[in-house]
Amino acid sequence: MQEDSYRHKGMRQQLVQVLKDKGITDNRVLDAIATVPRHVFLDSSFVEFAYQDKAFPIGSGQTISQPFTVAMQSQLLQVTKGMKVLEIGTGSGYQACVLAEMGAKVFTIERQRNLYLKTKPFLAEFPYNIKTFLGDGNRGLPTFAPFDRVLITAAAPEIPQALVDQLKTGGIMVIPLNDESDATKQIMLRLTKQADGTMLREEFGDCRFVPMLKGTGRD
Ligand code: SAH
């Protein structure tokens, strides 16, 4: 793993300030972003880009989400220590590390085999409680359910019922749901599972993610 220097730490502090200026207020999220070395998730020649508030390609047509998006989703999720969190779309593994740094036990699913094969051993180098799985996130992980939180980090065409079923009562799902009136964007939703099984719905503006696909991919 690439080293984490004082220069990198300084760049992370600047990124934290940018996120505060953009409205992120949860100090536990900001502390996690100040701690997790985002540059090690990118190829070493791209270190300069790692602490800009931008998404970045990570190969296989996928991206490491923009820091603001990671911060926003983490803040909406209201994670506390010891919670079981299911993440759909492991990608680079950065979001999983931010949640784990906040004290969550993370279960993360990726559908693309090559990304899974790359990210699984990489995440094992961190001192975090993260379990990685290859599969279709639409199905969740029935064996490990129920979860306190579910985070979807790809653009979802619908709310996957299996994931609703695997959420505890009082649990929260954060999901970028396709905007029916505009195919280029999604609406960030926070869904809270009520005692009667229905979902309380809150909307948090537009966002853009790579699509959540069905089945597992070979590439
Ligand atoms: N959370 C990631 C960003 C993910 S980008 C990070 O922190 O870097 C979205 C990811 O979701 C991609 O890697 C994509 O392959 C994956 N994905 C898309 N559809 C999926 C599905 N049905 N199940 C699991 N992963 C999926």
Note every long-range contact of 68-71, with CB atoms under 8 Å and residues 24 or more positions apart, other chains counting: 68/18, 68/19, 68/22, 68/24, 69/207, 69/209, 70/33, 70/94, 70/95, 70/98, 71/19, 71/24, 71/29, 71/30, 71/33
Q: Is residue 42 part of a domain?
A: no
- Say how many domains are in the chain: 1
Q: Is residue 131 part of a domain?
A: yes
Sequential pLDDT tens for the chain (219 residues): 888 999 999 999 999 999 999 999 999 999 999 999 999 998 877 888 999 999 998 887 888 999 999 999 999 999 999 999 999 999 999 999 999 999 999 999 999 999 999 999 999 999 999 999 999 999 999 999 999 999 999 999 999 999 999 999 999 999 999 999 998 999 999 999 999 999 999 999 999 888 898 877 655
Determine which residue's CA is closest to atom 19 belonging to ligand 1.
Answer: 212
Ligand 1 binding site (Cβ under 6 Å of any ligand atom): 62-65, 88-89, 91-92, 94-95, 109-112, 115, 136-138, 153-154, 210, 212-213
- CATH classification of the domain holding 143: 3.40.50.150
Q: Is residue 3 part of a domain?
A: no
Q: Is residue 25 part of a domain?
A: no
| Under 8 Å between Cβ of 128 and 122 | no
210, 216, 219: residue to mutate for ligand 1 pocket, most atoms within 8 A of CB = 210
Q: Is residue 15 part of a domain?
A: no
Domain encompassing residue 128: 54-207
CA-115 nearest atom, ligand 1: 13
Q: Is residue 143 part of a domain?
A: yes
What's the whole-model pTM score?
A: 0.96
Q: Is residue 82 part of a domain?
A: yes
Q: Is residue 213 part of a domain?
A: no
